[in-house]
Structure 1
């Protein structure tokens, strides 16, 4: 495995947050929609409602950290959302901009997340990944994440 490209995390700006809201909702909807039997627009509505519930004060919501990730050349390559409301930080979202996918930035952003959490004194990091996202599952497993809970469903 080659060395992933370096990234720097910077607190998300208000302007970046506006664009991030839609991208984040679409990403979440792509995962949750098929698993809940929701069509595209219904899934996006659920996703926006969930983010509004979790981030009632947007970027100012207490104990939620939102960053924009930048590549070595200063180009925005993605984003990261972590909640520190519980003793173990929880990754709510990792995004790599479409034009930068497949280049190792997802790995770099997750490694930066780990570093940031360690810097803040945390010893663990949790996340959820939908079963219909094999590339993400593979990435997280390669980074040492282990399954600690599993939700199952049976179609009737």
Structure 2
């Protein structure tokens, strides 16, 4: 596998990532039946603003870009060194993404390991994340990397 390097996002990278991740998160919430499409993007903006009152400079948050050894960007990480629900000694992985053209090459596993190292270096004894049930590829990656289900939300359509 290629040489993976992880570094802090630049301001321009953060701005582009922020807009992209807002749209993707809103779309996932709509697809999961959680939010109405009409106001999903605004809801995502409000939630992210609450989590990131100081944007890229928000205390305890890490925004990282993953590159190959030649500098080619291949993925991103958003990691909180404290858990959003106050779970003690536990960091939270808000976003991990490998660019589509680099998926299936082992970079997701390497990026996940990098997130774990950043959390460990930040003093966390555990790392938690959420994954949508329909994202089978991500579920397999996390399971094979030693993550276990802590809570599970289930739904059955009635119409």
Measured against the shorter chain, the TM-score band is: 0.7 to 0.9
1:23 aligns with 2:25: no
Extract unaligned runs of 5+ from structure 1.
none
Are the aligned partners of 1:6 and 1:108 in contact in 2 as well (CA < 8 Å)?
Answer: no
**After superposition, what is the alpha-carbon deviation per residue over 1:66-115, rounded to whole angstroms, capped at 9, x for unaligned?**
11111122111111001112320000001212332232222111011112
Give the TM-score normalised by structure 1: 0.87
User: Following the alignment from structure 2 to structure 1, what is the Cα–Cα distance between the partners of residues 65 and 47?
Assistant: 21
How do residues 1-156 of structure 1 correspond to structure 2 at under 5 angstroms? 4-35=1-32, 36=34, 38-39=36-37, 42-86=39-83, 87-156=89-158
What is the CA distance between 1:37 and its match in structure 2?
A: 5.0
Are the aligned partners of 1:7 and 1:112 in contact in 2 as well (CA < 8 Å)?
Answer: no
Extract unaligned runs of 5+ from structure 2.
84-88
Q: Which runs of 4+ in 1 moved over 3 A?
A: none
Q: Which has the higher contact order (CA 8 A, sep 6+)?
A: 1
Give the TM-score normalised by structure 2: 0.86
The verdict on how the C-alpha distance between 1:46 and 1:120 changes in structure 2, with shifts beyond 3 A counting, is same
> How many residues are matched?
152
